[in-house]
Structure 1
Amino acid sequence: MAKHAVLSSGAKLWRSLACANSELRLDLTLACGQSFRWRETAEGHWTGVIGGRVWTLTQTDDTLWYYVYKKQDMRKEGRDEKRKAGISLQEENESEKKFEGPLKKEDEEPVAVTSVLDTEEEDKMLRDYFQLNVKLVDLYMAWGAADPHFKSIADIFTGVRMLRQDPTECLFSLICTSNNNITRIQGMVERLCQAMGTPLFQLDETSYYDFPSLSALADSSVEERLRDLGFGYRARFLHQSAQKILNTHGPQWLEGLRSVPYLQAHNALRTLPGVGTKVADCVCLMSLDKAEAVPIDTHVWQIAKRDYKYATVNRQKSITDKIHRELGDFFRKLWGPYAGWAQAVLFCAELRKFQKLKQMPHLKQPKKEEENEDEMTVVCKKVKN
């Protein structure tokens, strides 16, 4: 069985991009509730799925390292196991020929060295996923100059970037977040992928799957299957939203929202079952290139009242569409066109798992600790719409 890659065990097999910690911190960006499919599989190593491929990522001070698993990883591991069992390479090859016959060209074992074309494509995928074309240090400087409170947080919570996720994965993962927390959402999204996604790889007894397609989510059996998997009322929203997208708009509709203005994309998403104001803004920000979208939940509202002395006229106790719009405009005026990115930094700073960073700002990495099941409800807690 193939194992999760570790940089110290074979750096020559890894590839890298120049990227300072000030531009990206994996521990903050991948664990702050944007995506729910990354796991820390070794200290400082994160494994997840991008573009139908399984990746392990890690970083040093000025370099982002990545390993993309290929078929030869599985075959090499299988051969190693056979050799441990006393099966010689000659016996193994003879056995393969006996039972499989001559290999067709398309079935030949991939070479161990990744092609230049693969390297270029995967570099491009990773740059796109982390939006590395955006100079985060420049944004932090601008936000800090405009906002003293942000400046007080920025030196501790550096490198928090917005991911550019696949719109289908982002939307349907976020529909699962209603009245939920990070740990439970991770479990639900994992079960969703296991039930309806394409198997990709198995590493150390952990199986990785691609995210289900729209057509798979729209199948007539989906709602019942998801209810059996513990999705509750969210099962209906997932199924109905997939059906509506395919039947009313077509399979390319979500990607097409990347090219329309923010409010148009936001309002279009609001027409889907299970998608309220907050979820729509999350999808706009995290997958549709709307950097000005500022998702507002009870925690961001508390930040606004506590740290920015923001108060509504009639002091509502719940977040209405009006408050969502007005508070979003407040932060957009303060932070500018990348206001959603700035909001993500402050949201990250509120997460319980990262509170020790505030007491130990000199440390670059937080201590790993168990995530409390009752910790703050993540990204898209259900609010009044």
Structure 2
Amino acid sequence: MNNRIMEDGGKVIIENIRDFEPKHVFDCGQCFRWYEEGDGSYTGVVQGRVINVKKDGQTLVLDNTDKKEFDGLWYDYFDMGRDYGKIKNELSEDDTLKEAIGFGEGIRILKQDEWETLISFIISANNRIPMIKRAIKEISEKWGKPVVYKGNTYHSFPSPQDLKDASVEDFESCHTGFRAKYIKKTVEMVINKEIDLYNLKNLTYAEARNELMKLPGVGPKVSDCILLFSMYYYEAFPVDVWVKRVMQHFYLAPDVSLPKIEKFGQEKFKKLAGFAQQYLFYYARDLKGKEISV
């Protein structure tokens, strides 16, 4: 990064920030613990820490942290070491991606915790973002640890051990619906080491994906989201309803199947498939009811 990073009274200030727009980062469907404030900043809970992120011109202000924590947590979480300008230039060779990048030019793919991402995207199946956020918030409030920031109480996301005694009915009470039984079984499988979640990043993409799909409620799309948003598998190309619509509208026939859309995206965008997916997802949601059918 060619940035100037300073610490000032409980804040980390990054000057000359490029390719980082909080709204694009936090509203592009990859995370569910960030909340927009009245001043346009975002407050989020990550690994038991609460910070507020605000951008003013080309200056990014992270409140409630310090330089040591930035180096140990936030630098990787916000993918600060990656040249997004280079990625956007390469993807902009495709006319549709060039247009999509114009809508979400400040997107970054976060490096989230594998466990929280797994449960979050099990909850995401056939669900809307406000409902996903509510369910995750209620699970965190029920079993997570409280963290106070500016007079408000937030909660960490509970570990598998924190959830080991929770019943299906307990999870249902958190508005998880039919996914409650999947969460219960996933907790058991992780605790019993039927899947080594934190070792998956050391496998190939195909191997890691196959391991994830052993878990209940984890199909191709959910597994690809987990791999992309927590394990650096940028060849993943998750296909949800929005990506399906935008791909059919700009690239493929209306009756093309989800597996074929996924394969097309991976073959077309290769090692940048996950980045392309995020720009296209954000673009498709912005265009709903305008150019593409919903």
| TM-score over 0.5 for the pair | yes
Alignment root-mean-square deviation, CA: 2.3
Q: 2:175 maps to which residue?
A: 230
Deviations 1:85-124 (A, max 9, x none): xxxxxxxxxxxxxxxxxxxxxxxxxxxxxxxxx5223233
Q: 2:21 maps to which residue?
A: 25
What SS does the corresponding residue of 1:64 show, helix, strand or coil? strand
**8 Å Cα contact 2:52-2:64 kept in structure 1:** yes
**Counterpart pick for 1:63 among 45, 59, 64:** 59
- Partner AA of 2:46 in structure 1: I
Q: 2:42 maps to which residue?
A: 46
Q: 1:150 maps to which residue?
A: 97
Deviations 1:124-174 (A, max 9, x none): 3111011111111100000011x1111122223211111110001101011
**Counterpart pick for 2:226 among 283, 300, 321:** 283
Q: CA deviation at 1:19?
A: 5.2
**Counterpart pick for 1:255 among 190, 198, 205:** 198
What SS does the corresponding residue of 2:104 show, helix, strand or coil? coil
Q: 1:242 maps to which residue?
A: 187
Q: 2:283 maps to which residue?
A: 349
**8 Å Cα contact 1:218-1:240 kept in structure 2:** no
Matched, 1:334 2:268: yes
- Partner AA of 1:61 in structure 2: G
Pairing of 1:1-385 with structure 2 (within 5 A): 12-18=9-15, 20-21=17-18, 23-68=19-64, 119-145=67-93, 147-204=94-151, 206-219=152-165, 221-249=166-194, 253-308=196-251, 310-311=252-253, 315=255, 319=257, 323-324=258-259, 326-352=260-286
What SS does the corresponding residue of 1:155 show, helix, strand or coil? helix
Q: CA deviation at 1:285?
A: 0.4
- Partner AA of 1:208 in structure 2: Y
Equivalent pairs counted in the alignment come to: 285
**8 Å Cα contact 2:12-2:70 kept in structure 1:** no
Within 1, Cα distance between the matches of 2:45 and 2:136? 12
Structure 1 residues 243 and 135, CA gap change in structure 2 (3 angstroms): same
4+ residue runs over 3 A deviation: none
Q: 2:3 maps to which residue?
A: none
Within 2, Cα distance between the matches of 1:156 and 1:274? 32
Q: CA deviation at 1:259?
A: 1.4
What SS does the corresponding residue of 1:337 show, helix, strand or coil? helix
- Partner AA of 1:200 in structure 2: V
Structure 1 residues 339 and 19, CA gap change in structure 2 (3 angstroms): farther
**8 Å Cα contact 2:234-2:273 kept in structure 1:** yes
Within 1, Cα distance between the matches of 2:16 and 2:222? 30
**8 Å Cα contact 1:292-1:339 kept in structure 2:** yes
Structure 1 residues 268 and 259, CA gap change in structure 2 (3 angstroms): same
Q: CA deviation at 1:40?
A: 1.2
Within 2, Cα distance between the matches of 1:218 and 1:182? 26
**8 Å Cα contact 2:245-2:284 kept in structure 1:** no
**8 Å Cα contact 2:167-2:184 kept in structure 1:** yes
- Partner AA of 2:121 in structure 1: L
Q: 2:5 maps to which residue?
A: none
Within 1, Cα distance between the matches of 2:81 and 2:62? 18
- Partner AA of 2:191 in structure 1: L
**8 Å Cα contact 1:217-1:238 kept in structure 2:** no
- Partner AA of 1:231 in structure 2: T
Within 2, Cα distance between the matches of 1:197 and 1:165? 17
Structure 1 residues 193 and 52, CA gap change in structure 2 (3 angstroms): same
Q: 1:87 maps to which residue?
A: none
Q: CA deviation at 1:12?
A: 4.9
Within 1, Cα distance between the matches of 2:16 and 2:234? 21
Within 1, Cα distance between the matches of 2:61 and 2:71? 11
- Partner AA of 2:140 in structure 1: C
Q: Find the structure with the greater CA-based Rg.
A: 1
TM-score scaled by length of structure 1: 0.69
Taking every aligned residue pair, what percent have the same amino acid on both sides? 29
**8 Å Cα contact 2:243-2:284 kept in structure 1:** no
Q: 1:84 maps to which residue?
A: none
Unmatched 5+ residue regions in structure 2?
A: 1-7
- Partner AA of 2:159 in structure 1: S
Within 2, Cα distance between the matches of 1:259 and 1:286? 15
What SS does the corresponding residue of 2:126 show, helix, strand or coil? coil
